Amino acid sequence: MAFEKDFINEWPPPSQPLNSSLEEPYKKKYKLEKDCHCSSVFSPDEIQLACNEDNMDMRSLLAKWWKRRVQEKNSELSERKGSPRTLLNHILKLPSAKQFLKLCIDHLRKDIDRNRRELALCWYLLGDTNEAMNHMQHYLAHTDHQSVNNDAKWTAKLIEKQHNVLQGQEKLLLALKERHLTRYELPPTNKVERRDASDLSVNEFFHHYAMSHTPLIITGLKTTTVKWDLEHIKKAVGHKVAPLRKSVSDSVEWAKLESCGQSTVSDFIEAVKRKES
């Protein structure tokens, strides 16, 4: 998407070199804002000019704001690591970033009908999905369908998904309070049937299990004649290049796994062995 390219180009500030290898995951040093009550580094005129730009995206604008803040403020240096989305999530927790977004909202409200989509994204970034939904629904209802681009549709789905998640959490917490429970108990599980592969035909499996979405544990399968250990994998696909992922505790990416470069399968296996020894 167009705004993702602009966003990543602006984020994080390129003040320190990247260091990426098998032994050293992707890390980025940047300045951590310590003063929670400082004013925005954008002047009101600059905010107004930025908010009036065509195809402006608030995430890209927020990244530009942070880049300038890092360059102009002498703050304590703190090491952070993670993807652009993880870094953005961290910055959104800063009171100064929330103050900046509220200043943007004040300017966007001056031409509210023109800026409904941008207002929706501002409120989403601030964590108010009710306001975000109201503005986005108004934007979609009063905009010609052919004029709504893919970025706007994606943002609308993003806001709707988060809104539904938060509503579901509220309903669950309310149900717990009404039942005077301190935690939610999962329903009892069903015992999964086991069948030996020699006594199960493809036709029976398809009609009785696959079509009815019934779980089944199949035993007695002989899937390979070779033991799949690290040496076998290295011999079979060791020359292939694969992306690497590393666990980051405060990541917002799937499973808290973030990119840390790439490597051949063979080199990765050797690195694993060195750490084990």
Dihedral through CA 97, CA 99, CA 101, CA 107, nearest 10? -150
Torsion sign (Cα): 71, 43, 1, 259? positive
Q: What Cα–Cα distance (Å) separates residue 91 from each residue in 19, 39, 62, 97, 100?
A: 22, 15, 9, 7, 11
What SS3 class is residue 9?
helix
**How many domains is the chain partitioned into structurally?**
3
Compute and round to an integer the Cα radius of gyration of the chain: 25
What pLDDT sits at residue 29? 33
Let me know whether 146 and 129 are in one domain. yes
Let me know whether 214 and 237 are in one domain. no
Arithmetic mean of pLDDT, 107-124: 91
Let me know whether 144 and 172 are in one domain. yes
Let me know whether 170 and 34 are in one domain. yes
DSSP per position, 107-175? HHGGGTTTSHHHHHHHHHHHT-HHHHHHHHHHHHHTS-GGG--HHHHHHHHHHHHHHHHHHHHHHHHHH
Let me know whether 111 and 210 are in one domain. no
Domain extent for 263: 230-276
For residue range 16-56, list pLDDT tens digits in order: 433 333 333 333 333 333 333 344 456 666 676 666 665 66
Let me know whether 137 and 23 are in one domain. yes
pLDDT above 80 for 82: no
Look up residue 216 and give its two tokens.
Answer: 């089944």
Return d(Cα 85, Cα 261) in angstroms, integer: 17
Let me know whether 20 and 156 are in one domain. yes
For residue range 127-166, list pLDDT tens digits in order: 999 999 999 999 999 999 888 888 889 899 999 999 999 9
Let me know whether 48 and 99 are in one domain. yes
Predicted TM-score (pTM) of this structure: 0.61
pLDDT above 50 for 267: yes
Let me know whether 97 and 191 are in one domain. no
Mean pLDDT of the chain: 78
Let me know whether 209 and 236 are in one domain. no
Let me know whether 84 and 168 are in one domain. yes
Let me know whether 211 and 270 are in one domain. no
Entry field: residues in the chain: 277
| pLDDT more than 90, % of the chain | 38
Q: Phi/psi at 173 (nearest 5 deg)?
A: -65, -40
- Cβ atoms of 107 and 48 closer than 8 Å: yes
